[in-house]
């Protein structure tokens, strides 16, 4: 049986895949280290205990005579989960229903295995701390969408990957331009770690700073690309950017090596919309990105996604795009708003066991 110290509560949690008495497990769960007994002392002092019988337990630990669960076994061996000299993170406990004198080789083996388990647990907790830090960094960089965008419903969703540090470089953004148009973007920076999230923040911040001074999204990507190339960035990013006029629904769109745009209609039909543009950002100097102008009809929705939404194990890009377009169009035909459409697309992406980050941005003209 393993007893592990919960870092948040400071109490013990017990687990075992053996036929351990449930009463013993329940007694150890939630135990405080302040109670003096062999288990808590082994964890606090980093000292193993091999107690061959109940008489020796009571002799050396008379205070345990009043603890009911300690009467349910005869002998006990306890090895702290930590290398020598380090603070133990828990203990490995072996209970015997008869007297047991542990020979030296058994004690050495148990202590060695407990030390290795402690090292593994310490690495797991360090990794978990890094994951939580990285996830907080990622979430802090994702914007809050404006409450009201004239003539549009906009909804966004994000879910991290299950690999690496459980975060990545996917992002989305939506903001008002000085002339009244709405700028929308979605992108994906290379990697799944803290550096990917940090690079994503650089790209999104750069676009935010450049866009208000540029009337065309293609120029925004051109200038962003030059900035990243000049910085000699070690990573690259894909991106789709749209400007949408508030009244007539005019859309100006461009792409930097990103997943195609999807267009869903009220009649339940959909199509893939390939935007002109250029290569991913931060790689090729001197790139002039191209753009296209088209009209977003009332009631029609545009769906912008990252590749984790439309690609996965056993799911090709073409099949994924068709799948998402169909889902969005069906939801739109059934009267769903942008929020409900975004939820449906995200749920479908998770259902196909996605491994990559996923980000969804739905824009519906009302």
pLDDT at residue 214, rounded to an integer: 93
In this prediction, residue 137 carries a pLDDT of: 62
Cβ pair 338, 154 in contact under 8 A: yes
- Going along the chain, which residue ranges are E strands? 2-5, 12-15, 49-51, 75-80, 90-96, 152-159, 169-176, 182-189, 237-244, 250-256, 261-264, 270-273, 277-278, 292-295, 301-305, 358-365
pLDDT of residue 8: 67
Using the structure block, give the residue that is written with the tokens 């013990």: 12
pLDDT at 161: 67
Q: Write down the pLDDT at residue 270.
A: 97
* CB-facing half-sphere around the CA of 186: CA atoms within 13 A: 26
pLDDT at 292: 97
pLDDT at 304: 98
How far, in Å, CA of 7 to CA of 334, rounded? 48
Place of tokens 């293609």: 218
Residue 215 — left, alpha, or beta (φ > 0 → left; ψ -120 to 50 → alpha)? alpha
Q: What is the mean pLDDT of each run of 10 residues along the chain (366 residues)?
A: 72 73 74 83 88 90 77 86 75 89 92 87 77 64 79 90 62 92 92 75 91 95 95 90 90 97 96 97 96 96 94 85 96 95 90 74 95
Residue 243's pLDDT is what? 97
Apex 182 CA angle, 178 and 183, nearest 5: 95
Name the token pair of 151: 């003539």
pLDDT at 124: 80
Predicted local distance difference test score (pLDDT) of residue 38:
87
Residue 88 confidence (pLDDT):
85
The pTM of the full predicted model, rounded to 2 decimals, is: 0.67
């Amino acid at each position: 049986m393993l007893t592990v110290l919960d870092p948040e509560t400071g109490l013990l949690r017990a687990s075992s895949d053996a036929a351990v008495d449930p009463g013993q497990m329940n007694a150890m769960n939630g135990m405080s280290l302040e109670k003096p007994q062999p288990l808590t002392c082994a964890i606090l002092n980093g000292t193993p205990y091999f107690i061959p019988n109940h008489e020796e337990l009571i002799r050396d630990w008379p205070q345990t005579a009043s603890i009911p669960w300690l009467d349910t076994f005869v002998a006990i061996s306890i090895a702290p989960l930590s290398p020598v000299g380090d603070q133990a993170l828990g203990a490995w406990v072996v209970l015997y229903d008869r007297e047991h004198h542990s020979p030296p080789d058994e004690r050495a083996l148990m202590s060695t295995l407990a030390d290795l388990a402690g090292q593994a647990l310490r690495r797991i907790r360090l990794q978990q701390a890094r994951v939580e830090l990285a996830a907080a960094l990622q979430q802090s960089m994702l914007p809050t969408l404006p409450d009201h965008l004239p003539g549009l419903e906009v909804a966004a969703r994000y879910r991290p990957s299950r690999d690496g540090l459980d975060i990545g470089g996917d992002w989305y953004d939506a903001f008002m331009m000085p002339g009244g148009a709405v700028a929308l973007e979605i992108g994906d920076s290379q990697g799944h770690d803290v550096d990917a999230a940090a690079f994503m923040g650089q790209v999104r911040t750069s676009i935010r700073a450049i866009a208000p001074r540029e009337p065309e999204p293609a120029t925004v990507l051109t200038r962003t690309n030059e900035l990243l190339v000049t910085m000699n960035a070690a990573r690259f990013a894909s991106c789709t950017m749209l400007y949408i006029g508030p009244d007539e629904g005019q859309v100006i769109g461009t792409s930097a090596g990103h997943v195609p745009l999807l267009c869903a209609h009220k009649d339940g039909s959909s199509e893939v919309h390939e935007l002109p543009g250029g290569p991913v950002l931060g790689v090729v100097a001197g790139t002039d990105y191209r753009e296209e102008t088209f009209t977003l009809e009332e009631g029609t929705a545009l769906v912008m996604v990252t590749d984790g939404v439309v690609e996965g194990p056993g799911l090709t890009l073409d099949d994924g795009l068709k799948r998402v377009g169909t889902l969005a169009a069906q939801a739109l035909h059934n009267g769903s708003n942008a929020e409900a459409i975004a939820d449906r697309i995200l749920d479908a992406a998770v259902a196909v066991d996605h491994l990559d980050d996923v980000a969804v941005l739905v824009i519906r003209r009302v």
